[in-house]
Amino acid sequence: MNQLPREAAPFVAINVAIVGAQKAGTSSLFDMLRKHPEVCPGPRKEWHFFDDEKRSWDHPDYTHYGTPARLERHRVAIDGTPTYMFWPHALERMRAYRQDMRLIASLRDPIERAFSHWAMYFGRLRSYPTFSELAQGPSRNALLDRIPPGWNHLRMRRWSMIPRGLYGAQVQRGLELFPREQWLFLDFHELVRDHRTALDRTTRFLDLAPFSREPRLRVIQSTRDDLVAPPPTSGDISRLAEHYADDLEILGQLSGLDVSGWPTRQVVDGRLAPSELADRLARKAGLQR
């Protein structure tokens, strides 16, 4: 099919967003979706449009929030910024932009996600705390509602390890803003095990034709496996499991996801020892006891 000249290419405003969660396969999902013949590839995955605190939200400018459709069949443009579901006021800003936005949330066991988040930053940032210091420290649940005075964008991204896993509260807020039929909830663990089924669900949700040839799952791994740090403890796992227990119930009820097999749920139910999950995480990151 012939490409449209850039000057003649119609502008397709962003109409789909992958809104969460960080470290839950959003890059892999975006990488596959951008290869669909009806999707505008776009210049980037993460636009960080609705979590931009420097933007004027009284009169936001959406002029460049989209991409040219280089082919006639291009009709979907995707923003894959996984902070949106968590970031205070991001979904409210998105609703003001367009109420018919379709939203995709890929979610992962909260303790595994938190550990992967921590491992991404530890060793790269000066004075970044150990996993135990973060797990045993203040929960910072208030970050779901506001950015603390004096915190910048980077500090908010780096220190929100624990509250980002409170998916139930985030989904509850999201469903108050967008109807359930505009949401697709995916289980990261199932995405990795059977990405073809996840892709089929996603294309149906977006009213796209099925892939004639489904792309391979490209696992985009940014977590180091050679960290030099104290490993997580069973106490860390027990505290986090207790912290997430009630929220996981809310998530299951609202999203329809079956979280019974998630390690955090297994720890809560007594089906998995906290020490076993701690050892599993330590081995993954190459931490020695």
pLDDT digits 0-9 by tens, 113-142: 999 999 988 877 778 899 999 999 988 999
Confidence class of residue 219 from pLDDT cuts 50, 70 and 90?
confident
In one-letter notation, the amino acid at residue 80 is: G
Q: What is the pLDDT of residues 29-83, one digit of tens each?
A: 999 999 999 999 888 999 999 999 999 999 999 999 999 987 888 999 999 999 9
Homologous superfamily of 6-284 in CATH? P-loop containing nucleotide triphosphate hydrolases (3.40.50.300)
Q: Where do the domains of the chain lie?
A: 6-284
Residue of 286, 277, 271 lying closest to 239 (CA atoms): 277
pLDDT at 224: 64
Q: What is the pLDDT of residues 140-189, one digit of tens each?
A: 999 999 999 999 888 898 889 999 999 999 999 999 999 999 999 999 99
Who has greater pLDDT, 2 or 71?
Answer: 71
Rounded Cα gap, residues 125 and 50, in angstroms: 25
Rounded Cα gap, residues 132 and 24, in angstroms: 22
Confidence class of residue 217 from pLDDT cuts 50, 70 and 90?
confident
Rounded Cα gap, residues 103 and 80, in angstroms: 10
Rounded Cα gap, residues 142 and 237, in angstroms: 21
Rounded Cα gap, residues 165 and 21, in angstroms: 8
The whole-chain average pLDDT of the chain stands at 92
In this model, does residue 206 exceed pLDDT 60? Answer: yes
The model's pTM: 0.94
Helix residue ranges per DSSP H, 98-229: 110-121, 131-136, 153-158, 167-177, 188-193, 195-205
Mean pLDDT (whole number) for 268-287: 95
Mean pLDDT (whole number) for 259-286: 96
Full strand arrangement of the beta sheet holding 76-79: 39-40, 76-79, 16-20, 102-107, 183-187
Q: What is the pLDDT of residues 97-113, one digit of tens each?
A: 999 999 999 999 999 99
CB atoms within 10 A of CB 215: 16
CB atoms within 10 A of CB 147: 18
Residue of 113, 99, 69, 104 lying closest to 84 (CA atoms): 104
pLDDT at 221: 63
Place of tokens 């009213």: 207
